[in-house]
Amino acid sequence: MSSSTSPSSVGHGRYPQAVTVEDFRRNLVAVQARVDTACRRAGRDPAGVRLLPVSKTIDDARIRLAYAAGCRLLGENKVQEAHRKWEAMADLRDLRWSVIGHLQTNKAKLVARFAAEFQALDSLRVAEALDRRLQTEGRSLDVFVQVNTSGEASKYGLAPEDVPAFIQALPAFSALRVRGLMTLALFSSEAERVRQCFVLLRTLRNRLRQSAPAAISLDELSMGMSGDFEIAIEEGATVVRVGQAIFGARALPDSHYWPNESITEEPHP
Ligand SMILES: *Cc1c(COP(=O)(O)O)cnc(C)c1O
């Protein structure tokens, strides 16, 4: 990790813990109001931005409160944690799970079993493993291609220059419904540097649209978190992934939840 990747800008300590249904209702209303304001500023329709609450590290009891407050799709960055929660909350029949973190091929089987969406596709090996498992399960899956727009070695995702060839290869995996691109911006308090990551994702998408195979939809841009989603909306986000502003600040820095195992497991291009 480089010293420029301080996660402090995402607001640790800024968001109080939500511990009642009322807390969750209030936080969801507040975040939606921030979404609406950012949309208005950008001349966009708020209906074009989906809020994805991110429940990583949150225990089942509090997730049930969020459900009671209206959450029906939750993002999790670790597959095993998401799968365990899916099993534990199977009684909440209409609660769906979006896996938003890096996937190792040996865990594709789990994702194929339960996930409604996978936002961190970044290798053909994972695409192949997911497709094979999905075919077996008789399911299909909405996927986003993750792009590393910050250039940080600690971040997952394809290098922007590798995305065009990757997209061309995806129609071979018929159980994957490609919806768009996803990124994590630089962790920085400098808004302009964060914004450049989102601009890069949007311009890449616009360029790809001209050559993408017919089966591939690139309508969605998943970008923006608690600390930077207004900037992401100004730059075209259609999905914002928001954890701390809804659930409360996490106790540990994000580096804890984003283990950089890929640095030894799968070197970045
Ligand atoms: C944790 C996480 C988020 C949400 O971050 P917050 O700071 O809690 O809003 C968004 N995207 C990914 C991939 C994450 O792992």
Q: For residue range 96-110, what is the model confidence (pLDDT) as tens digits?
A: 999 999 999 999 999
User: If you measure from the C-alpha of residue 213 to the centroid of ligand 1, how many angstroms do you get, rounded to a whole number?
Assistant: 30
pLDDT digits (tens, 9 = 90+) for 38-47: 999 999 999 9
Is 99 exposed, middle or buried (CB count within 10 Å of its CB: 0-12, 13-18, 19+)?
buried
Within 6 A (CB) of ligand 1 lie 10, 54, 56, 77, 100-101, 184, 225-227, 241-244
Helix (H, G, I), strand (E, B) or coil at 170: helix
Mean pLDDT in the chain? 91
Distances (CA, A) of 171 to 7, 29, 107, 124: 36, 39, 22, 11
Pocket test for ligand 1, best of 98, 100, 144, 256 (most atoms within 8 A of CB): 100
pLDDT at 259: 52
Pocket test for ligand 1, best of 52, 152, 241, 242 (most atoms within 8 A of CB): 241
Domain ranges of the chain: 8-247
The amino acid present at 137, given as its one-letter code, is E
User: If you measure from the C-alpha of residue 10 to the centroid of ligand 1, how many angstroms do you get, rounded to a whole number?
Assistant: 9
Question: 241: Cβ–Cβ under 8 A, 6 or more apart, which residues?
Answer: 52, 54, 75, 100, 119, 222, 224, 225
* For ligand 1, atom 10: residue with the closest CA: 241
Whole-angstrom distance, CA of residue 64 vs CA of residue 66: 5
Question: 171: Cβ–Cβ under 8 A, 6 or more apart, which residues?
Answer: 213, 215, 216
**Beta strand spans in the chain (E):** 50-53, 73-76, 96-99, 117-121, 141-146, 176-182, 220-222, 239-242
Instruction: Please answer whether residues 110 and 79 qualify as being in contact, where contact means their C-beta atoms are separated by less than 8 angstroms.
Output: yes
pLDDT digits (tens, 9 = 90+) for 183-221: 999 988 999 999 999 999 999 999 999 999 998 999 999
pLDDT digits (tens, 9 = 90+) for 131-188: 999 999 999 999 999 999 999 988 899 999 999 999 999 999 999 999 999 999 998 8
Whole-angstrom distance, CA of residue 97 vs CA of residue 82: 7
What is 8-247's CATH number?
3.20.20.10
User: If you measure from the C-alpha of residue 221 to the centroid of ligand 1, how many angstroms do you get, rounded to a whole number?
Assistant: 15
User: If you measure from the C-alpha of residue 240 to the centroid of ligand 1, how many angstroms do you get, rounded to a whole number?
Assistant: 9
* For ligand 1, atom 7: residue with the closest CA: 226
Is 265's pLDDT higher than 60?
A: no
Neighbours of 20 (CB within 10 A): 12
